[in-house]
Structure 1
Amino acid sequence: MVAAIAAFIAVPTLALAQDAKHSFKMATGWPGGPLMDIGAKAFAERVDQMSDGRIKIQVFPGGTLGNALKVTETVKNGVAEMGHTWMGYDWGRDTTTVLFGGYAGSFDSERMLHWLYQAGGVDLQRQYRDEVFGVVSMPLFIRTAEVFLHSRKPVRTLEDMKGLKLRTAGSWLDMAKDLGAAPVTTAGGDVFPMLERGAIDATEWGTLWEDIAPGFHKVAKYLIIPGVHQPVAPFDLVINKDAWAKLSDKDKKLIETAARLTTFDSWLRIGEEDAKALDVYRKAGNEVIELAPEVQYRTREIADAWADKQAETNPWFAKVLASQRDFERRWANATQYRNVKVRATATQ
């Protein structure tokens, strides 16, 4: 009888716990643009909608709650309960971060999505960020291949890369040196003024569409493609572990689902908008330059050698790299059974 009464009392208690209200602050690394609009803010709006308003997330621009390049640290220390960042910003602590955030040796965005959501990547990411950084982590937003450079100088060949002062982040800081460039890093809000006044010759940032908003093309004539340094860029939702522990299992699942839906929506939106963006640059008077094959091949060679070297001394890097390379081998013949040859027509 006592057990039955206890069980009866527990039912509404459990319901109350599952329907608890939460209010979180989210630190980001972005001053604005698509990363905010269809990334962090879209996620917050989706969570609000899916929870019927019970879970509120206030999104702050980069630098408001802490260093825009150290969002993980801001969240770990409890200054914000959530953060939206690119994991590669943490590469100085552990280079494994770029395997999740994308680097010159990554596969394309479609394959990355398959690896993350169907081949164990999300689980590896959760385990890794928990063990090494002490935060809860999952993908939130993903880019297709980035623009290689918005440049004040034409860049096409390996010779053109020598001495080029470029802004970048993550492992490309190391690899660009092997191409002869002189890379530096800085927060997103500082990039435009540095490019405008010539403190740097060139910058990479996002995809064709994403780069319209910051206006790099207004102060740099040359648009260099493709983004061999960054074939894909998944972004990262980080959550303070104490804040995560306060959520019911139902609400944890809600957060995971919202992040996944936002990630897929961002991929679809960017893909469509990128297809329109080249015309914007051409109409603005920018010159579009395709990198010479020698640069593209050499970049991948440098990336593979760099990754092999990291794996020699970093067990986590070796574990994630092995998972990604196993995936690549499974997909090695995908173009044979997926791509159909068609003749060029007047509409193409």
Structure 2
Amino acid sequence: MKRRALLNSLALGAASTAGLVACSQATTSNETGSNSTASTADLPTIEWEMATSWPVALDTIFGGAQVLVDRLAALTGGRFKITPRAAGELAPPLEILDVVSQGAIPCGHTASYYYLGKSPALAFGTTVPFGLTPQQQNAWLYEGGGLKQLQELYASKFNVIQFPAGNTGTQMGGWFRKEIASVTDLQGLKMRIPGLGGQVMSKLGVTVQSLPGGEIFQALQTGAIDAAEWVGPYDDEKLGLNEVAQYYYYPGWWEPGATLELQINLDEWNNLPPEYQAAVQTAAYEANVTMLSRYETRNNEALQRLVSNGVELRAYSDEILSAAEEATFALYDEFAAKDPDFQAVYTGWREFRDRVYAWNSLNEGNFTRFSYSKLNQ
């Protein structure tokens, strides 16, 4: 019943997008022939709080939640207001799905791969190792059937509906206190890395920890961990990770295009007017595009600052990348064999990945390689 209600509400929400705009802008003629603006006065006033997984100081990633709620308020004439709260204010940063699912908090902004213990298929909602770039991820979610499939999974298992609401871009490969040249160098290394990337690293001999962003600096500083990944140059600089680790690796093969989510308790969602549902979807879409645009703009500038201040860039060796890729697809096969939900998502995702890789490599990839080669002549 929840799945059917979800699909019905999505259809109503999509159909009412134009109606919401019209409601705030349309004019009608009164008896004297003058025009008067239609009002949203018949729509309810709603105020929610949003739990997030992010420190406020990380203005781009927390900013994704802020962009969303600001646009939502604008689209509803201020009648639907959501206040985002920093990690830990309303719920522990890695327990957002739990409190939203329970209905303790109506909504949250988080990353789905924090909750793999509940269902490994949730990883696809954020990103998976050797997966999709940001644009490829958006294509899969919005046009490749990925979002619909994940929403059905969330509805049936967690009483939650989710929407893409941010993307960090292709991430960096993490901070290390010593150089890592081979798989042997990874043995026994203590590293903060979440999601399936963490499970792949574990297969390569790494001792994996999952820590909130606000705890990474201290863990590196005290030696509780030897390495950590967070996002990319802009956010990593804000956390001060360059002050406690010297070597900065690339590429972030485990997070080639990390999507963040707006998660809403499904009962709360179904109680919203269709106009508000449409506004939520529009606001989440804008947050998704805005966050990626900001990271793409800010990361290179931050990287240049880091390098000028002594950070040493290092590329992962082909040996490590090949071992990681092999371990990744072995892990996918293991999950697919024992988890029907993972198998269902993975099958379609893998087919989409292979098609979009071929297309991008032929067209965009060749264009980028040519243009960059000219830049460096």
TM exceeding 0.5: yes
User: Which has more helix, going by share of residues?
Assistant: 2
Tell me the CA shift for residue 333 of structure 1: 2.5
| Shift in CA distance, 27/347, structure 1 to aligned 2, threshold 3 Å | same
CA distance in 1, matches of 2:88, 2:125: 23
- Percent identity over paired residues: 26
CA distance in 1, matches of 2:295, 2:160: 28
CA distance in 1, matches of 2:55, 2:325: 31
Structure 2 equivalent of residue 171 of structure 1: 196
Q: What secondary structure sits across from 1:139 in the alignment?
A: strand
2:107 partner letter:
M
Tell me the CA shift for residue 129 of structure 1: 0.8
Structure 1 equivalent of residue 234 of structure 2: 209
Tell me the CA shift for residue 298 of structure 1: 1.5
Q: Which stretches in structure 1 are left out of the alignment for 5+ residues?
A: 1-14
Tell me the CA shift for residue 210 of structure 1: 2.2
Equivalent of residue 28 in structure 1, options 31, 35, 52: 52
Q: What secondary structure sits across from 1:281 in the alignment?
A: helix
Structure 2 equivalent of residue 160 of structure 1: 185
Equivalences for 1:72-83 in 2 at 5 Å?
Answer: 72-83=97-108
Structure 2 equivalent of residue 319 of structure 1: 344
CA distance in 2, matches of 1:172, 1:328: 18
Structure 2 equivalent of residue 3 of structure 1: none
Equivalences for 1:247-258 in 2 at 5 Å?
Answer: 247-258=272-283
Are 2:140 and 1:115 equivalent residues in the alignment?
Answer: yes
- Which deviates further from its counterpart, 82-91 or 308-317? 308-317
Are 2:362 and 1:336 equivalent residues in the alignment?
Answer: yes
Structure 2 equivalent of residue 53 of structure 1: 78
| Shift in CA distance, 188/332, structure 1 to aligned 2, threshold 3 Å | closer
2:48 partner letter:
F
Structure 2 equivalent of residue 297 of structure 1: 322
Equivalences for 1:225-304 in 2 at 5 Å?
Answer: 225-304=250-329
After TM superposition, the runs of 4+ consecutive aligned structure 1 residues lying more than 4 A away are 15-18
Structure 2 equivalent of residue 102 of structure 1: 127
Tell me the CA shift for residue 347 of structure 1: 6.3
Q: What secondary structure sits across from 2:333 in the alignment?
A: helix
Tell me the CA shift for residue 139 of structure 1: 1.0
8 Å CA contact 2:163, 2:284 repeated in 1: yes
CA distance in 2, matches of 1:214, 1:174: 24
CA distance in 2, matches of 1:98, 1:54: 34
Equivalent of residue 65 in structure 1, options 65, 77, 90: 90
Tell me the CA shift for residue 342 of structure 1: 4.7
- Size of the aligned set, in residue pairs, is 334
Tell me the CA shift for residue 18 of structure 1: 6.0
Deviations 1:135-169 (A, max 9, x none): 11111111222221112112232122111111111
CA distance in 2, matches of 1:159, 1:328: 30
Q: Which stretches in structure 2 are left out of the alignment for 5+ residues?
A: 1-38
Tell me the CA shift for residue 343 of structure 1: 7.8
Tell me the CA shift for residue 289 of structure 1: 0.7
Tell me the CA shift for residue 324 of structure 1: 1.0
Deviations 1:73-129 (A, max 9, x none): 111222211101110111011111112211213122221111111111111121111
8 Å CA contact 1:43, 1:262 repeated in 2: yes
Are 2:246 and 1:221 equivalent residues in the alignment?
Answer: yes
- Which deviates further from its counterpart, 57-66 or 172-181? 172-181
